[in-house]
Structure 1
Amino acid sequence: MRVIPILICLQVTMAAVAQEKLVSVNGQQFHILTKGLENRKAHAPVLVFENGLGMGLGNWDTVLDELSQTAPVFAYDRAGVEGSERVFKMPTVEVVARNLKAILSSQNIAPPYILVGHSMGGLYIRGFAGYYPDEVAGLVFLDPADFTETKKNWNDIFRKLGVPEKRIDEMLYDRLYKPSVIDSVRFGPSSEVQVLTDLRKTDFAEIASLPIPDVPLFFLIGGKFEVPPERRSKDFDQAKFFEIRADVNIERWKKFIYSSSRGGSLVYLSGSGHYLHRDNPKAVIGVIKMLMESLGE
């Protein structure tokens, strides 16, 4: 009979480990979640998660609990997304990096950080690592927005598919230069789309100018083509485009990994789509743990 109260106490203690709250930083409210910080050892890295475009921190619910048993975790919503306050300021790479740094500092979460970024979040962790290279212990990119891509890279794929040059120019204009209006109601996600577009116009010049920290670099890439037939382009074979683009992206990401003396890894998950941390959380958890083991954690 005495076992039951003990089990209840253990459950309450475990539930109290995760903390979810609003914090005020740089004059605005950010929704954050932390777990396992109370067990952090001196100088041990914290896992810091950057969400995909327009996604909230709940998108990580498939991996956070298990990873928090290995290392402290921190996740948050960028400005104007999900639980964070909407502020009409463009979420440039530098703005997002400065905000994240301020949030971490406000919560006394000192470096080093292992940054994990999905999609647009991959671009943002690359930016943070460039602005604060000495605070980063490792980078994990999950099917990231390709910050190494140039307009020529993009056009060359269409040339391989036999698309006429005139049509290539028209598609590039539609992708990057066609006038668009940012949705004020969904300013966070809408403005992030505009930031990505502006970076593509310059071949990611801001990102390319930033230093790459000498830390382990890990990539996980989803290989499942998910566009349904009714939504595919009429101008070219979109499935073939996906295949070619994945091949050329992987080659550039391999070169990016080689830029670090600490090495890294690239894992191609053929059965996973863009949200591979949801399609295959075990693989994502395994790779992050592998990175931590390489640091001796």
Structure 2
Amino acid sequence: METLRAATSGPAVIFLAGGGAVGRDYWNVHRKAAELATSVIYDRAGTGDGAPAELPRTSTEVTDELRGLLRDAAIDGPYVLVGHSLGGLYARHYAIRFPAEVAGLLLLDPAHEDYNAYMPQELRERWEGFDAAEAAAAFENLPDGVVQLYRGLFAQELAGWPAEVREPLIDYHVSPHGLKAGFQEASNVEQLYAEVRAAGPLPDVPLLVLSSTKVDPFKEVVSQGIPEALLQEEIDAKFRLYTDFANSVPRGEIRSVEAGHVTIHLRGEQAVRDAIADLLTSNQPTAGGEVRHESR
């Protein structure tokens, strides 16, 4: 766990990484958040530098772990939780389980149990043929060309980062362990969805959802063979889902960001900082799911 303690008082900002990501992936926005409040990044057990653990785990285990880490570090709530992708699902579950400890939620392209239901049928049919266990096993012996492709993509996105942060992070992402951990952690996603659905509704806390609107190079690599028009349909359907989600709570708002799913916090750094600032101040999201467009 890395904590940057700001001189200002108020809620601490806690980043929950996406599946396959680790705390240091949010190094840039972690430092932006630290201009405004105490900011925390960490690695979940079984990923990055987190404690050893068998994957996958339940969302209850993940949220209990985070709560324990924050208490051990003497970081008091309530918190602004910033969850990306799978981390967004965990952030929601934390808020449902411990509502008094959450001051606001910022969800970046969050995993959601109704995601597939909003998608075009053709895309759902393509996904049904995906075998996550087979894909995870394949990462044990990736061809060097694939490793170098991913290394180049990360190097391009993190070009402006200090080498001491960038290089170990890239090494982790192209390692068999890092790649496999990402697949393993999300391999029980349907069970995670059921767990969060059964936990009940979100408490009345400010909610901001940032929705990516672009196909970035990472998406292009994993979407080879899928027509561009179908990828755009996915983006549009995702935005409809997040709009309905934001409308389902009293203080929900959605904003679009000109970035891809993987790069939303990299190419949308300013949008993330602005959203955190809004949640930390009295300028709370308006009721009714207002749509506001943000770009890099």
Report the RMSD for the aligned CA atoms in angstroms: 3.1
C-alpha displacement at 1:188, in angstroms?
A: 6.9
In 1, Cα distance between equivalents of 2:206 and 2:214: 26
Q: CA offsets per residue over residues 11-42 of structure 1, 9 Å max, x none?
A: xxxxxxxxxxxxxxxxxxxxx111116x353x
After superposition, what is the alpha-carbon deviation per residue over 1:33-83, rounded to whole angstroms, capped at 9, x for unaligned? Answer: 11116x353xx2110111122322222221222321211111111112222
For the pair shown, the structure with the greater C-alpha radius of gyration is 1
Equivalence for 1:278 = 266
* Length, aligned pairs only: 248
Aligned equivalent of 1:111: 77
Residue 33 of structure 1 is matched in structure 2 by 2
Residue identity matched to 1:141: L
- Distance, in Å, in 2 between the alignment partners of 1:149 and 1:182 is 26
The alignment status of 1:131 with 2:97, answered yes or no, reads: yes
Give 1 or 2: higher helix fraction: 2
Residues 1:241 and 1:220: Cα distance change in structure 2 (over 3 Å): same
* One-letter identity of the residue aligned with 2:5: G
Deviation at 1:274, TM superposition (A): 2.7
What's the CA shift for 1:292? 1.7
Which letter maps to 2:76?
A
Q: Quote the offset at 1:199 in angstroms.
A: 2.5
Q: Is residue 146 of structure 1 aligned with residue 112 of structure 2?
A: yes
* 1-structure distance, mates of 2:182, 2:99: 23
Q: Report % sequence identity.
A: 25
Contact 1:52 1:117 in 2 (8 A): yes
Q: Give the conservation status (yes or no) of the 8 Å contact 1:143–1:274.
A: no
Aligned partner of 2:211 among 215, 221, 230: 221
3-state DSSP of counterpart to 1:249: helix
**8 Å contact 1:272–1:280 — kept in the other structure?**
no
CA distance in 2, matches of 1:179, 1:36: 40
What SS class does the counterpart of residue 115 from structure 2 fall into?
coil
Higher RCO (CA 8 Å, separation ≥ 6 residues): 2
Gap runs ≥5 in structure 2:
141-174, 285-296
1:181 deviates by: 5.2
* Distance in structure 2 (CA, Å) of the matches to 1:36 and 1:180: 37
Matches within 5 A, 1:9-20: none
Paired with 2:138 and 2:264, the residues of 1 have a C-alpha distance of: 28
Q: Output the amino acid matched with 2:207.
A: L
The match for 2:235 is: 246
Structure 1 stretches lacking a partner, 5+ long: 1-31, 160-167
1:181-196 matches, within 5 Å, as 190-196=180-186
TM-score, normalised to structure 1, is 0.72
- Residue 172 of structure 1 pairs with residue 128 of structure 2: yes
